[in-house]
Amino acid sequence: LGTTYANIAGQGTIGGLGNIGKVWLLPPTLTLQYHFTDLGAFKPYVGAGVNYTIFYNQDTGSADALKVKNTFGTALQVGFDYMVDQHWGLNFDVKKLFLKPDFDVTVTGAKLTGKAELDPWLIGAGVTYRF
């Protein structure tokens, strides 16, 4: 489980504001994976799934206030395990999230709503153990 941040920029009628703010996100993701077999110690896989992204530490840029709402999204994944022995291995994966959270923003006293397009890449590495 990891975290990352994203910048939210104004578009349309608030496009002139540029960077509205920055938000941190925690995207727990559930994926179904297909593992390719018979490749020796190298075990690549692909996956697809869903996530529920939690937004926190929302800092305003050119806005007075910003609230990004938690949301569901989809994810694609590609990765591999490299088995050092029968049980232990190293893992590396990359996930692409597709998020469109709603947000509320206040600019010079005017309250506006919008939908952000946040499509972060998540890169992970770890140790794996197979029973």
Task: List domains and CATH numbers for the chain.
Answer: 4-129 (2.40.160.20)
CA–CA dist 71, 82 (Å, integer)? 33
User: pLDDT tens digits, residue range 82-128?
Assistant: 999 999 999 999 999 999 999 998 888 889 888 888 889 999 999 99
CA–CA dist 55, 7 (Å, integer)? 12
Q: What is the mean pLDDT of residues 14-41?
A: 89
Q: With a cut of 90, say whether residue 19 has pLDDT above it.
A: no
Q: What is the mean pLDDT of residues 42-64?
A: 93
Q: With a cut of 90, say whether residue 27 has pLDDT above it.
A: yes
Q: What is the DSSP letter of 10?
A: -
Would you state the pLDDT for residue 114?
85
Choice among 15-19, 43-47, 89-93 with the minimum mean pLDDT? 15-19
Q: With a cut of 80, say whether residue 8 has pLDDT above it.
A: yes
Q: How deeply is 42 buried, as exposed, middle or buried, from its count of CB atoms within 10 A (0-12, 13-18, 19+)?
A: exposed
Percentage above 90 pLDDT, the chain: 63
